[in-house]
Amino acid sequence: MNRQAKCVLRTKSWFALAMAVCLLAWLPTGVVAATVEYLQAKPLFESDTLRGVHIRPVKSGALRVPLITWPGDVATVYTDQEGIFRKEGLDVQLFCENDFAKQVKGVLEGDTPLLRGTMGMINAASETLAKEGTQLVVLYQLTWSTGGDCLVVRPGVRSLTDLKGKNIALQLYGPHMDYLTTVLKKAGLKPTDVKERWLKELSIPTYETHGVAVDPRTAFEASSELDGAMVISPDANALTSGGVGTGSEGSVKGARVLFSSKSANRVIADVYAVRADYFQANRAKMENFVHALMIGQEKFDELMANKSSEQSKYKSLLSKSAVLLFGSPQAVGDVEGSLGGDCEWVGYPGNVAFFTGVGTTRTFAKLKDEIQSSFLDLGLLKNKAPLDKANWDYRALAAGLSSTSVAAVPKHAFDTAKTQRAVEKEIARGVDTWQKEGSLYNFEIYFAPRQASFSAGEYDAAFKKALELSQTLGGTLITIEGHNAPDALNKARSEGKSDTELALIQQAAKNLSYQRALSVRQAYLDYCKQSGVPVDESQFLAVGMGTSSPKYPVPQTEEQWNANRRVVFRVKTVETELDSFKPSGK
């Protein structure tokens, strides 16, 4: 392979073998880099690649369409293969460029008006364009990342809140900048609450580094000062030995995945953006480009569903993608292996939702605001910069498409009965472990004695928070746990009641807490319907905790007594211990 390993951009298994070859080629067996080369966080326009680069008119000729090595771009390759761009009156030339700063340079110098990246990367570039008197317009969303991006941590980091004050390695100007800050925010942490340690590469490079770590995986191996590393999943698998690191064969002893985009599956949005001056002069052309991508996406879905009977087209797509995305016809297996779950192609319905807000809280405006705010804190932007959306007429873009239903009720991702049994089993192993391990975030609501109903009006703020969490962390399980005060149990114990009587009191408390949890769950689901946001009801599981985990085992004040009566919303990852949480049919 003659392309650098950074071309594995956020893939799950695409270059696992190539990475292993790189390790053997450049590092002696059992030896990791001796030093780590960290970078200083600074705005993209101050990078070496863009220093002194100024805007020029876009060159005439074929429309150069950038790709990155990501499964979502295979659909764009198919759009071109099937002549759909030509049918829209477009003469396009696809090319792969995984160095984002080089992409931005090409946009500024007029080699292409189009920029391809995540919403985080596009926002990082927005200030650069603004300084040159123009801005970017986001045209189209290709995918959501749903698996290929991970945070690996050392032993002792059991939850997101444990990251406060910790050192986290990640690539500068890469796809994980806003991914980390968004998930931290959901746990109540600010970007400045952790110590981001920036590196040049996303993964192990193929060039000689002379014993210097320039990527998060190698840095995590080399430096015990790093508590975590944002990596693509092949690197996560290597660091964790596919589960918990053994300390051999390139793994780090005790390392494990704390979370991935399998759980936080509405954070990394891959998009196309265009220079605003070009867009204003060529709006119809850009609309045709977007329409071609939408039609191509549907055709790609059809091909994947019928690939056994469409082998000629399918093999041709794999071959074209291998050359375009990896620079090698031998990478067919890497392309095929990538198409199994690292991303979700959103098509027409997803674009309508993302850009208009129909049926979702994870919108263009929402992501733009949270990304730019966090980038200001990190020093990746000096000022908020303009970034627009195209404001398409989606009714016109629906022409020729078959899948145009927006805000449909999501399919159930979890087997409720199976998940209920798994949760009860985990709780029985230890309440403290259950509350800590695999928990990303939790918050509480309180209720009065003998309260049986929970209105949306009374709990609006809590339900709004739960909805935003479930939308952002759409791959997680959210348990709704009812907790009872231990007063009756404490009284019975003080009176010397028998074990049988105590067990009956505990079971009654558990039953009552479960009924309260069910009532809160239903009130929350009603709130979601009233808000016009369809949710996957199987993501929310009611659990009765009874008196097993009081905040105050023997309350001394009325305030403590009231605090024991609560319902806890707990967000649980599905990457690690809880294998039985796997979605139905997976």
Band of pLDDT at residue 367, cut at 50, 70 and 90: very high
Cβ atoms of 247 and 253 closer than 8 Å: yes
Same domain for 29 and 76, yes or no, is no
Cβ atoms of 535 and 467 closer than 8 Å: yes
- Judge whether residue 442 has pLDDT over 90: no
Q: Pick from 370, 397, 424: which residue ends a domain? A: 397
| Residue 402 falls inside a structural domain | no
pLDDT value, residue 8: 45
pLDDT value, residue 32: 56
Same domain for 274 and 128, yes or no, is yes
Same domain for 28 and 159, yes or no, is yes
Same domain for 30 and 164, yes or no, is yes
Same domain for 174 and 137, yes or no, is no
pLDDT tens-digit series, residues 346-356: 999 999 999 99
**Could you tell me the CATH number of the domain that includes residue 539?**
3.30.1330.60
pLDDT tens-digit series, residues 155-196: 989 888 899 999 999 999 999 999 999 989 888 899 999 999
Same domain for 15 and 127, yes or no, is no
pLDDT value, residue 109: 98
Least confident segment among 42-51, 408-417, 490-499: 408-417
| Residue 274 falls inside a structural domain | yes
Same domain for 515 and 570, yes or no, is yes
Same domain for 241 and 177, yes or no, is yes
| Residue 408 falls inside a structural domain | no
pLDDT value, residue 447: 87
Token pair for 542 = 């009611």
Q: Average pLDDT in the 524-532 region?
A: 93
- Judge whether residue 495 has pLDDT over 80: yes
d(Cα 336, Cα 295) in Å, to the nearest integer? 22
Q: Residue 353: how many CB atoms within 10 A of its CB?
A: 22
Same domain for 443 and 546, yes or no, is yes
Which residues fall within 8 angstroms of residue 135, CB to CB, at 6 or more apart?
Answer: 126, 129, 276, 385, 386, 387, 388
Band of pLDDT at residue 148, cut at 50, 70 and 90: confident
Count up the domains in the chain and report the number: 3
d(Cα 151, Cα 268) in Å, to the nearest integer? 14
- The model's pTM is 0.88
| Residue 104 falls inside a structural domain | yes
Give the three-class secondary structure for 178. helix
Higher pLDDT, 337 or 73: 73
- Judge whether residue 407 has pLDDT over 80: no
- Residue 551 exposed, middle or buried by CB count within 10 Å (0-12, 13-18, 19+): middle
- Judge whether residue 247 has pLDDT over 50: yes
pLDDT tens-digit series, residues 11-31: 434 444 344 434 433 444 344
Q: What is the percent of the chain where pLDDT is above 70?
A: 92
- Judge whether residue 269 has pLDDT over 80: yes
pLDDT tens-digit series, residues 192-208: 999 999 999 998 887 89
Q: How far is CA 42 from CA 123, 125, 383, 586, in A?
A: 14, 12, 12, 42
Q: How far is CA 9 from CA 59, 68, 205, 206, 321, in A?
A: 28, 7, 12, 14, 14
Same domain for 18 and 154, yes or no, is yes
| Residue 404 falls inside a structural domain | no
- Judge whether residue 370 has pLDDT over 50: yes
pLDDT tens-digit series, residues 562-584: 899 999 999 998 764 444 455 54
pLDDT tens-digit series, residues 103-125: 999 999 999 999 999 999 999 99
pLDDT value, residue 33: 63
Least confident segment among 14-18, 28-32, 292-296, 496-500: 14-18
Q: How far is CA 440 from CA 185, 240, 324, 416, 575, in A?
A: 11, 19, 38, 20, 12
The one-letter amino acid code at 241 reads S
| Residue 542 falls inside a structural domain | yes
| Residue 456 falls inside a structural domain | yes
| Residue 485 falls inside a structural domain | yes
Domain extent for 213: 5-39+148-260
Q: Pick from 365, 397, 429: which residue ends a domain? A: 397
pLDDT value, residue 579: 45
**Could you tell me the CATH number of the domain that includes residue 201?**
3.40.190.10
Same domain for 138 and 167, yes or no, is no
Q: Pick from 198, 229, 260: which residue ends a domain? A: 260
Token pair for 402 = 């078959």
Cβ atoms of 315 and 418 closer than 8 Å: no
Same domain for 230 and 293, yes or no, is no
* In 241-393, alpha helices (H): 276-281, 283-305, 311-326, 332-338, 347-356, 364-378
Q: Mean pLDDT in the chain?
A: 89
Q: Tokens 């960290």 identify what position?
A: 38
- Judge whether residue 360 has pLDDT over 60: yes
